[in-house]
């Protein structure tokens, strides 16, 4: 697998775990600090694929243990 080197530059990613599912919508808890894309992908492989995801965005939106609910 070839990773895009642009993704590794400045953008930070967090790993989130699904904590609650309501039909098509879910709630997600942030379980990692903001890290670069390569590290995030390596960490993501340690968890079940159906219950985790990668998210990126402004770092203060994703502190560890914060929960995001899909609307």
7-53: per-residue pLDDT in tens? 546 789 999 999 999 888 999 999 999 999 999 999 999 999 889 99
Identify the CA nearest to 53 among candidates 38, 43, 66, 64.
43
Sheet containing strand 52-56, strands side by side: 52-56, 13-22, 25-30, 67-69
Rounded to whole angstroms, the Cα distance separating 63 from 16 reads 11
Q: What is the pTM assigned to this prediction?
A: 0.78
**Given this model, what pLDDT does residue 24 score?**
86
Q: Where are the domains of the chain?
A: 5-69
């Amino acid at each position: 697998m070839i990773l895009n080197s642009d993704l590794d530059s400045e953008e930070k990613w967090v790993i989130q775990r699904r904590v609650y599912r309501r039909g098509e919508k879910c709630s997600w808890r942030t379980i990692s600090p903001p890290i670069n894309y390569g590290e995030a992908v390596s960490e993501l492989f340690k968890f079940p694929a159906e219950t985790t995801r990668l998210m990126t965005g402004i770092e203060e939106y994703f502190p560890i243990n914060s929960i995001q609910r899909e609307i």
